[in-house]
Amino acid sequence: MIRFNSDYTEGCHTSILEKLVETNMEQTAGYGEDEYCGQARELIRKACGDERADVHFLVGGTQTNVTVISAALKHYQGVITAKTGHINVHETGALEACGHKCLCIETPDGKLTAEQIAAYTDAHFADESFEHMVQPKMVYISNPTEIGTIYKKAELEAIYQVCKKRGLYLFMDGARLGYGLMCKENDLTLSDITANTDVFYIGGTKVGALFGEAVVIRNEELKKDFRYNIKQRGGMLAKGRLLGIQFLTLFEENRYFDISAHAARLAEKLKDELIKMGVKFYINSPTNQQFPILPDAVLAELKKKYSFAYQERMDETHSAVRFCTCWATKEENVDMLLADIQKLLKADD
């Protein structure tokens, strides 16, 4: 079985394993207060162009989302999110289990716009029953989104302006951030993101690490006491150095960006070649997740050799599915997949 179903099918980048082996029997302080975490924090601050940013390492995405959002909100406040947002769909209500409501906005492409955020917030405060509704206080965006789309620099800046004017915190979920930053359409840098959000995270789990997400907090209000929140939400790893070592390795020698570029390039190849075959897409994604719409008969055959994720039935004979590339994807497998699809499409004609 060749797996394209997700971007966490392999272990981690070899350099990380090497560093783990090398440092294994060293004794260090626990809970992220070791030297490796310190070095990793420095590298990330530098990459973000903000020497004063707080950087924390957590284990996984759901945990990170819950920790960041619940740390920022009071009990009666909620978070604006696209209806497709990971926090709203695929975290088994982890955020609600912390007491907070997802304030959902329908979007065609998984992205929120500055206008939508402004309109939602203004409507809340204009409503005579405003105290009977959850107060919007934070905006959650994923970049890339859950369906592969990305925010352009102008869009992000506009969103952040709207947020600042209305006293909303802006939080970017960067579980797949590398794959967004290194795709062709992207015009954002880590510095841009740092300057145009209050807090965001750089995903490791899906981008070369065994696990781990690096939270970058720029807004002073959100820095205070953050480690209490990490501990309370179960995210304070005893052997915190494991996270430090991983992010240290990823942010040395441009590694995070190079391996992301690899995945982006293979996804583009996949997309371009499928387009040439006349395949339509569920959404126009420039990143490592591609959502082609294929005949069910073709999918039934493909399934025997490849794993991929089911997205949505499109009509009686076609479904949208998801193929992911990642830092570890082999080009030969993409080529084989393309060849197989082409053959099956012809047979299906």
Count of residues binding a copy of itself (CB under 8 A)? 78
Instruction: Give every CB contact of residue 124 below 8 A, 6+ residues apart in sequence.
Output: 130, 133, 135, 136
Beta bridge partners of 136: 78
**Mind spelling out the 3-state secondary structure of 43-95?**
HHHHHHCCCCCEEEEECCHHHHHHHHHHHHCCCCEEEEEECCCHHHHCCCCHH
Q: Least CB distance from residue 132 to a copy of itself, whole Å?
A: 5
Asked if 225 touches a copy of itself (CB under 8 A), the answer is yes
In sign, the C-alpha dihedral spanning 80, 84, 85, 87 is positive
- Start-to-end CA distance of the chain, whole Å, equals 26
Nearer to a copy of itself, 7 or 50 (CB): 7
Among residues 38, 46, 90, 220, the one that binds a copy of itself under rule CB under 8 A: 90
Among residues 82, 98, 168, 266, the one that binds a copy of itself under rule CB under 8 A: 98
Helices (runs of H) and strands (runs of E) counted in the chain: 15, 14
Residues from 111 through 130 that contact a copy of itself (CB under 8 A): 128-129
Asked if 30 touches a copy of itself (CB under 8 A), the answer is yes
> Closest Cα to residue 175, out of 217, 218, 206?
206
Q: Least CB distance from residue 152 to a copy of itself, whole Å?
A: 28
Nearer to a copy of itself, 134 or 195 (CB): 134
Nearer to a copy of itself, 106 or 349 (CB): 106
Q: Least CB distance from residue 106 to a copy of itself, whole Å?
A: 9
Residues from 306 through 325 that contact a copy of itself (CB under 8 A): 307, 309-310
Among residues 12, 105, 190, 320, the one that binds a copy of itself under rule CB under 8 A: 12
Among residues 43, 44, 55, 71, the one that binds a copy of itself under rule CB under 8 A: 71
Residues 62, 68: Cα–Cα separation, whole Å: 10
Asked if 236 touches a copy of itself (CB under 8 A), the answer is yes
Q: Least CB distance from residue 154 to a copy of itself, whole Å?
A: 30
Please give the single-letter amino acid code of residue 29: A
Asked if 219 touches a copy of itself (CB under 8 A), the answer is no
Q: Least CB distance from residue 193 to a copy of itself, whole Å?
A: 23
